[in-house]
Amino acid sequence: MASVPMESGLLIAGVLFALGLIGVLVRRNIIFILLSIEIMLNAAGLAFIVAGSRWGQADGQVMFIFILTMAAAEVSVGLALVLQLQHRFKTLDIDAASQMRG
Amino acid sequence: MLGLLWLIPVLPFAGFLVLALIGPRLSRTGVASIGVGSIALSTLVALLVSSSFIASPPAGHAYAQTLWTWLQVGGFTPGISLYLDGLALVMMLVVTFVSLLIHLYSTEFMRDDEGYSRFFAYMNLFVGSMLTLVLADNLLLLYLGWEGVGLCSYLLIGFWYTDPANGRAARKAFVVTRVGDTAMAVGLFLLFNHLGTLQIQDLMQRASQAWPVGSALAVAASALLLGGALGKSAQLPLHTWLPDAMAGPTPVSALIHAATMVTAGVYLIARTHELFALAPVVQSAVAVIGAATLLLAGCSALTQWDIKRVLAYSTISQIGYMFLALGVGAWSAAIFHLMTHAFFKALLFLGAGVVIQALHEEHNMFAMGGLRKQLPVTFWTFLIASASLAALPLVTAGFYSKDMILWEAWSSQAGSPWLWAAGMAGALLTSIYAFRVVFLTFYGPSKTQVRRKPGLRMQLPLVILAVLSVVGGFVELPSSLGDLPLFSDFLHTALPAAPSMRGGVSTEIVLQCSAAAVSLIGIYLAYLLCLRMPQYAESLLRTPWGTALHRFWFAGWGFDWLYDTFVVGPYVWFAHAAKDEVVDFIYGGIAGLTQRLNRLLSGTETGKVRWYATGIALGAVIIIAIAVIL
């Protein structure tokens, strides 16, 4: 099986991470922010997979399983936050929750 | 009997303690009986001790009593010990007796005052301190009494403390006398450092042995003590506090600022007269200061309209006479005048108090008048006191004491015709201003209604003091008039006689006659200017020179202005400038910088999550970049 070159895999991972980061910074809707965070997590997971396949090690895939688990946990907390935000501020705009300023 | 000496200062102190601790809970009668009773007992003991002292004089005409050692540091062991000799005895009797009369007067004078027990507590503390000063055996104990009377003076000038002006007057009195007291403290250090003791008799003996006449140390020590005396006795140039001290209740002015405390400087110089004899320069300075003060204060007294301020300037002037006497070595004459002055000046103040209260707190003499009929007892006693102050010849105590001073200013070795002439000019001024008060207050048309007549407790002291103002002089008759020097004979056990240099009995008679003439001329001038032809005084006042001089004298020769401009003003300015300390700039700067940084950083705390995320991302980029580059 022709292997994908590592550079291409890492490039995709980097692009995905950057897209996710831009999404986090630019979006104001908290659901889109959570989606962008998922993209960043998956970008990191992809980098692990690519690295694992490059050196023929299973550790990369193990790491990805961890990341999936953690992402599930993160989404449960994140959705709880979404509910709280909607409940308190009647909006999903993250900038509305800016009471804790100096 | 002499063993009871310690009771004399202790009784007023006990009265003070009782009044200070439980005074506010006592009834007015209770307060009065403790306040007056303690002084009365003290006076009684003083009389017993004096009679026993005079009847059977102890060895050396002095009696010392050591109660306990105050403190013991190295070779310095001042005792709480009392010393009674002729000088201390006279002072003690004057202080206790005049205090008793003024306390009695105050029970009625202050009857409606809220601070009744506070007043008597302070007054008792004052009498105790004054007796400590008078009876002290060493200069340190004397200094304790000295500061004690200063404190009481401060407390009583500011007695009606709700008026800020009274507080200012009290502060002024305290600070100005402090200038002199500091000099005196330095003088005590100097004396102890060089002579190793502060016990007065030892000190005088050692000084006479160790220091030749005119030596620099003797001059320095006596000049420093003189500084203390000038401050306390309100002499030039530290006299500015006394006229303002009239802000206190009138009995206080009578007791502290006329009869007793202000004469403490005279007592100090008489007490340490051996030291002053070693420094002829300082002694002649005392005479010159006395002469200058009596003239300056006499001129100022002529121009005042406030009856109490006239009396205050008159007090300064009369103490000037005492200083003149001390300066020419006429120790007994100074103490004699101190005694007669205590009687007639206390009487003048008490009389003024009656008038002021009768006219409902009216101090302006020009608003008074015609009180002769309405307050007869006050009028007659005030008249006697004024005659005594003006040295009306033959019948008043003031004549004999002032005549003795003038005679010795002429005849003594240190005296000179110039000093005598100053004294004569002062005598003329004295009789003019003394009778100006009488004529303005008691004669002429009635201008204000009398609202309150004095009762027995206010009139009895007036009558007793009036009797003393007359008969007080007969204890000392000059050689030309009966030659009965009882008083100076008695004092010569403690104070040496002034060596007479020029003039005999015939000169003395001539001088006495001229002094008598001057006194009568002064009274006649006052009569002319105040009653007969007031329009002449008015026109004199309206000339440009008259106006300028009046204003200048009224302001006390501009001393207050001088001190305010050159001492108080710069000091206040400096204090204001130094309020923000230079050292504080460093610490204040650190605090300010921290606060500014804090504000800067807390500005980044926007509460916006996306900004935080941006910050984290940027930080991560920077750290990774650093890690990659390095």
Which residue in A21, A24, A100 is closest to B607 by CB distance?
A100
For residue B528, pLDDT over 60 is answered with yes
CA dihedral B155, B157, B159, B160 (to 10 degrees): -150
Pair of tokens at residue A21:
């980061």
For B40-53, what is the mean pLDDT? 91
A97–chain B Cβ distance below 8 A for any pair: yes
Nearest CA in chain A to B604: A102
Q: Answer whether B607 sits within 8 Å of A28, measured CB to CB.
A: no
Alpha helices in B139-279 (DSSP H): 139-157, 164-195, 200-210, 216-232, 241-244, 250-254, 264-271, 273-277
Q: Answer whether B610 sits within 8 Å of A94, measured CB to CB.
A: yes
* Model pLDDT, residue B17: 92
- Which residues in chain A (22-41) have CB-CB distances under 8 A to chain B? 24-25, 28
Distance between CA B248 and CA B353 in Å, rounded? 11
Contact present, B123 and B35 (Cβ < 8 Å): yes
Task: Please identify which residue in the block is written with the tokens 């001393």.
Answer: B559
For chain B, the average pLDDT equals: 86
Which residue in B602, B609, B613 is closest to A102 by CB distance?
B602
Strand B79-85, strand B476-477: pairing: unpaired
Show residues of chain B in contact with A95, CB under 8 Å: 608-610
Nearest CA in chain B to A26: B610
Q: Answer whether A25 sits within 8 Å of B607, measured CB to CB.
A: no
The SS3 call for residue B477 is: strand
For residue A1, pLDDT over 70 is answered with no
For residue B594, pLDDT over 60 is answered with yes
Shortest CA gap B606–chain A (Å): 5
For the whole model, what pTM was predicted?
A: 0.78
Shortest CA gap B588–chain A (Å): 24
Pair of tokens at residue B530:
């105040």
Handedness of CA B177, B180, B186, B191 (dihedral sign): negative
Q: What are phi and psi of B326, to 5 degrees?
A: -60, -40
How many CB pairs below 8 Å do chains A and B form together?
33
Shortest CA gap B170–chain A (Å): 54
A92–chain B Cβ distance below 8 A for any pair: no
* Model pLDDT, residue A102: 60
B542 or B431: whose pLDDT is higher? B431
For A66-95, what is the mean pLDDT? 91
Q: Answer whether B607 sits within 8 Å of A101, measured CB to CB.
A: yes
Q: Answer whether B605 sits within 8 Å of A101, measured CB to CB.
A: yes
pLDDT tens for A8-29 read 999 999 999 999 999 999 988 9
Distance of CA B388 to the CA centre of its chain: 20
Show residues of chain B in contact with A98, CB under 8 Å: 606-609
Interface test with B, best of A22, A24, A32 (most B CBs within 10 A): A24
Q: Answer whether A95 sits within 8 Å of B603, measured CB to CB.
A: no
Task: Count, in order, helices (H) and strands (E) of chain A.
Answer: 3, 0
A89–chain B Cβ distance below 8 A for any pair: no
The SS3 call for residue B417 is: helix
**Percent residues over pLDDT 90 in chain B:** 24
Nearest CA in chain B to A98: B607
- Which residues in chain B (545-604) have CB-CB distances under 8 A to chain A? 601-604
Contact present, B427 and B315 (Cβ < 8 Å): no
Show residues of chain B in contact with A24, CB under 8 Å: 610, 613
Partners of residue B137 on adjacent β-strands: none
pLDDT tens for B285-329 read 999 999 999 899 988 888 888 888 999 999 999 999 999 998 888
Shortest CA gap B616–chain A (Å): 11
* Model pLDDT, residue B12: 92
* Model pLDDT, residue B315: 92
**Percent residues over pLDDT 90 in chain A:** 58
Contact present, B500 and B426 (Cβ < 8 Å): no
b/e B250-285 (16+ beta carbons within 10 angstroms → b): bbbbbbbbbbbbbbbbbbbbbbbbbbbbbbbebbbb
Show residues of chain B in contact with A21, CB under 8 Å: 617
Pair of tokens at residue B616:
């984290």
For chain A, the average pLDDT equals: 89
Q: Answer whether A102 sits within 8 Å of B617, measured CB to CB.
A: no
For residue B503, pLDDT over 70 is answered with no
Shortest CA gap B630–chain A (Å): 22
* Model pLDDT, residue B579: 77
Which residue in B605, B607, B614 is closest to A25 by CB distance?
B614
Nearest CA in chain A to B610: A25
For residue A73, pLDDT over 70 is answered with yes
B610–chain A Cβ distance below 8 A for any pair: yes
pLDDT tens for B153-198 read 999 998 988 888 888 899 989 999 998 999 999 999 998 888 888 8
pLDDT tens for A43-58 read 999 999 999 988 888 8
For B603-624, what is the mean pLDDT? 88
B498 or A11: whose pLDDT is higher? A11
Q: Answer whether A28 sits within 8 Å of B610, measured CB to CB.
A: yes
Q: Answer whether A102 sits within 8 Å of B609, measured CB to CB.
A: no
Show residues of chain A in contact with B608, CB under 8 Å: 94-95, 98, 101
Distance between CA B453 and CA B113 in Å, rounded? 17
Nearest CA in chain A to B599: A102
Task: Please identify which residue in the block is written with the tokens 């002469």.
Answer: B291
For residue B94, pLDDT over 60 is answered with yes
For B31-59, what is the mean pLDDT? 89
* Model pLDDT, residue B500: 66
Distances (CA, A) of B438 to B224, B340, B442: 40, 19, 6
Task: Please identify which residue in the block is written with the tokens 């409606």.
Answer: B112
For residue B501, pLDDT over 70 is answered with no
Q: Answer whether A98 sits within 8 Å of B610, measured CB to CB.
A: no
